[in-house]
């Protein structure tokens, strides 16, 4: 992801990401998702989010359906967190199979409550499943933002490496999965392990969508 700014997850970026997943799935490729130097993603496009209506509804649905696709992706999903990861950016971290983060003065976390937004049900389900119990309330209810090292303890990341080494380390990890894993067994096991989460997430996406649709004036 690289929009030259903060990798806001608006319509264009989300469509590009869904398209990349389509290609990776067709090619049976291990997926590596990363951002530009210093920024993974600052989350949903705030202009669209603040504007409300059908554009906001479509963006949120598309974003959480992206997370759902990542969680059930047929090949391993490696995430290289190149810097700041906030709100939906942090939720994409939670959807990866192996998450590496760059060392540095970066902010990671869900800041919805701090900026006046009620956390979507889909986001709550992702956080409940992937964050450690001791961090769940701190991240969701009090919008605590953490450093990469703390993010590894909380469950946003699996490990932290030097910023200069992140790209090569993420690529090496993806290659090791390609060489060392049976993709059929990986996918079937992933679906078994995450069946409960995927069911709860699908229900949450639909409930969030219904609530947003009901709030849009006729």
Note the pLDDT tens digit of each residue in 17-41.
999 999 999 999 999 999 999 999 9
The C-alpha atoms of residue 214 and residue 211 are separated, in whole angstroms, by: 5
The C-alpha atoms of residue 216 and residue 213 are separated, in whole angstroms, by: 5
pTM flag (> 0.75): yes
Note the pLDDT tens digit of each residue in 196-218.
999 999 999 999 999 999 999 87
Residue 139 is predicted with a pLDDT of 97
Structural domains of the chain, with CATH: 11-208 (3.90.226.10)
Residue 218 is predicted with a pLDDT of 75
| pLDDT exceeds cutoff 80 at 4 | yes
**Contact partners, residue 62, CB within 8 Å, separation at least 6:** 11, 14, 15, 18
Note the pLDDT tens digit of each residue in 123-139.
999 999 999 999 999 99
The C-alpha atoms of residue 10 and residue 22 are separated, in whole angstroms, by: 18
The C-alpha atoms of residue 101 and residue 113 are separated, in whole angstroms, by: 24
The C-alpha atoms of residue 21 and residue 116 are separated, in whole angstroms, by: 32
% of the chain residues with pLDDT over 70: 100
| pLDDT exceeds cutoff 80 at 175 | yes
The C-alpha atoms of residue 57 and residue 54 are separated, in whole angstroms, by: 5
User: C-alpha distances in angstroms, 203 versus 64, 110, 123, 136, 163?
Assistant: 11, 21, 12, 20, 37
């Amino acid at each position: 992801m690289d929009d030259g700014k903060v990798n806001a997850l608006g319509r264009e970026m989300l469509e590009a990401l869904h398209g990349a997943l389509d290609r990776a799935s067709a090619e049976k490729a291990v997926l590596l998702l990363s951002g530009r130097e210093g920024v993974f993603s600052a989350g949903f496009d705030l202009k669209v989010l603040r504007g409300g209506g059908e554009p906001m509804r479509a963006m949120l649905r598309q974003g959480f359906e992206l997370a759902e696709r990542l969680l059930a992706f047929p090949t391993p999903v490696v995430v290289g967190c190149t810097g700041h990861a906030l709100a939906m950016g942090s939720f994409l971290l939670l959807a990866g199979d192996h998450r590496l983060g760059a060392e540095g003065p970066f902010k990671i976390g869900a800041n919805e409550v701090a900026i006046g937004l009620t956390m979507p049900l889909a986001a709550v389900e992702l956080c409940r499943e992937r964050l450690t119990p001791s961090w769940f309330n701190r991240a969701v209810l009090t919008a605590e933002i953490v450093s990469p090292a703390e993010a590894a303890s909380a469950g946003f990341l699996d490990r932290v490496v030097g910023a200069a080494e992140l790209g090569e380390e993420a690529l090496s990890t993806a290659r090791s999965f390609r060489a060392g894993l049976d993709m059929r067994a990986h996918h079937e096991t992933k679906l078994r392990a995450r069946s409960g989460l995927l069911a709860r997430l699908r229900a949450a996406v639909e409930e969030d969508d219904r609530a947003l649709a009901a709030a849009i004036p006729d």
